[in-house]
Structure 1
Amino acid sequence: MDLALPDDLPSELLRLAVPHEDVNAVLAARPEPGSPQWWLAERCAHSLVSTMGDLDDPPPFQPLPELGPYFYVYVFLAALPHTRRYHRELGIPEEVSWATFADLGRNMAVHRKRHGTGGLHAPHWFMLHARGILYALGRLQFNRGTAGSRTAAAIEEAGVPVGPRRLALEVHVPDLYGPLTPEACDASFDRARRFFPRHFPQEDYQVMTCGSWLLDEQLARHLPAESNILAFQRRFHPLHRFDNAETVPFVFGVDAADPARLPRRTRLERAVADHLASGGTWYGRIGWLRF
């Protein structure tokens, strides 16, 4: 496919919530037509468009620092008209489309939060959005997918049929989106339960799953019972935990070379930093709930 870019790039970038401080740098990084960078961007965009809507993932995008911090921004800009067309064909409201696409700008803000420089955090992540797999529905994001065999077996052992396709909606909590209040989560789950049967009636979801540091049961030792995080945890049936490196970057925006030097401005920061300083380790956990 040809690499077609918007005529008014600055307006498109702002519509995608790209931070103002990144706009000029993104424009300056535009690949030259016919260059090797342009050729590679075309092929990356083709990988997205050719698997639009498929639950089977294409090979994930890998970091390519030698091509500059904004290379994948142009890949996604080239793919998004095709994603928009896919959304329109499914009858997905414009407001949902643009709320979903705004995650591009959010992940650029996350990159600056974590590294202090411009760039796109985890470019493989936005592949889900660009391929019509993930949707932002209020405070939470949901992506069409399948449960892993271990997770599916545990859910079926609890008496809930997952089915031979092991379909499951994955729940995500985006950063830089304010408090995780029970009311906001209720609204998102309610929207998801209406949205997916309406727009993907061929996919019979029985469960939702979440794999996150937010489900680490150790948080209950440090946070008050009425905290938003613990209220979110209580929605899920907990399953196995896994090694996780996202807790500290998500909470603080940096790695924890020295936990004693981490700030302790909030209850969550104090909980995470004090647990690490005492020799503890944070984990992620898989949880599930009925659709």
Structure 2
Amino acid sequence: MDVKAVLSAHPEWLAHLESVDGPDLVLPADPTPELLRLTVPHEDVGAVLAARPEPGGGQWWLAERCVRSLVSAMGSLDGPPFFPPLPELGPYFYVHVFLGALPHTLAYHRELGVAPQVSWATLADVGRAMAVHRKRYGRGGVHAPYWLMLHARGVLYALGRLQFNRDTLGGSVGEAVRASGTPAGPGSPSLGVHVPDFLGPLSPAACDASFALARQFFPRHFPGERVRVMTCGSWLLDDQLRAYLPANSNILAFQRRFRLLERFDDGDVLGFVYGEHDPGALPRRTRLERAIADHLASGGTWYGRVGWLPF
């Protein structure tokens, strides 16, 4: 396959890749141990191994430059262009990119003094993204490889039940924070809060523990960033859920932590809750599924919502 022809649909990204310098690509002869530590699903390991790029080939060239792109922005909040979907290169191309970036990410973590268990819990999102892809589409692949760029560049960290990424406040959220009297505003350092799939209940105790870890972790490892605010943008913050879920539900307990701001389009609630689904025949196996389906059946719309809370 002519990789350059595939990349002709992404001229700005190609120009970036051709301009970036960095390390040569090194892939383990047998990456099985690394794949398992990245929690690549067992059913995908053989296919990932079979899809290994050949040295000197077009996919090797592209994987090497993707790794260079990640390394060039290691630790920086100003990231390189997002990795686009490249289905022509097969479902596992980006797994090899993240394998190639792995030694550089771990080295950066070591420089910061990040504990190995935090490193591996963070990078396990590679396998989780593959499980999410199968949940959503019923086949192998890597869901949202652009998202995993944050992990590979040392910007996002898994701390217990939740994940947190280093960020800065945007305009409208920053203005709302400033109006509250909090000494922060647009452009101020912040943390994004994320709820990964396949990690069990979103219990208040688990969330308490994660927030406590974040309040220790980031001042220790990024002492130059004075974070005062954490933000979240998610369908989980849609206050319409209050009409359907009991007051003691984990989701509503999570909502109540945040000062809610603007809505945005549905936040892909069907993808997150159901995965692969028939929109005309949504299952109602749980209280949450019944809430989502009943609200849509009555003509309602689900939204994502932005919220913030003090650090």
Which TM-score band applies after superposition, normalised by the shorter structure?
over 0.9
Tell me the residue number matched to 1:262.
282
160, 169, 177: which one aligns with 2:182: 160
1:163–1:241 CA distance, 2 compared to 1 (3 A): closer
Tell me the residue number matched to 1:276.
296
Instruction: Tell me, yes or no, if the aligned pair for 1:248 and 1:256 is still in contact at 8 Å.
Output: no
Cα distance in 2 for residues equivalent to 1:245 and 1:209: 15
In the TM superposition, what are the counterparts of 1:196-275 in structure 2 within 5 Å?
A: 196-258=218-280, 261-275=281-295
Cα distance in 2 for residues equivalent to 1:157 and 1:223: 31
In the TM superposition, what are the counterparts of 1:24-103 in structure 2 within 5 Å?
A: 24-103=46-125
Cα distance in 1 for residues equivalent to 2:279 and 2:128: 25
Tell me the residue number matched to 2:17.
none
CA offset at residue 137 of structure 1? Answer: 0.1
Cα distance in 1 for residues equivalent to 2:286 and 2:238: 18
CA offset at residue 150 of structure 1? Answer: 0.9
Structure 1 outlier segments of 4+, above 4 Å? none
CA offset at residue 120 of structure 1? Answer: 0.3
Instruction: Tell me, yes or no, if the aligned pair for 2:32 and 2:45 is still in contact at 8 Å.
Output: yes
Tell me the residue number matched to 1:130.
152
CA offset at residue 7 of structure 1? Answer: 3.6
TM-score, normalised with respect to structure 2: 0.91
Tell me the residue number matched to 2:308.
288
Q: Across the two proteins, how many residue pairs are aligned to each other?
A: 289
Percent of residue pairs identical: 70
Q: Secondary structure at the match of 1:124?
A: helix
Question: Structure 2: which amino acid aligns with 1:59?
Answer: P
Instruction: Tell me, yes or no, if the aligned pair for 2:175 and 2:186 is still in contact at 8 Å.
Output: no
Cα distance in 2 for residues equivalent to 1:25 and 1:109: 14
Question: Structure 2: which amino acid aligns with 1:290?
Answer: P
* 159-168 vs 135-144, which moves further: 159-168
Question: Structure 1: which amino acid aligns with 2:122?
Answer: T
CA offset at residue 116 of structure 1? Answer: 0.7
Q: Secondary structure at the match of 2:145?
A: coil
Cα distance in 2 for residues equivalent to 1:129 and 1:23: 21
Q: Secondary structure at the match of 1:6?
A: coil
Cα distance in 2 for residues equivalent to 1:286 and 1:65: 32
Question: Structure 1: which amino acid aligns with 2:107?
Answer: R
CA offset at residue 162 of structure 1? Answer: 1.3
- Structure 2: where are the runs of 5+ without partners? 1-22
Question: Structure 1: which amino acid aligns with 2:307?
Answer: G
Question: Structure 1: which amino acid aligns with 2:49?
Answer: L
CA offset at residue 140 of structure 1? Answer: 0.1
* 238-247 vs 110-119, which moves further: 238-247
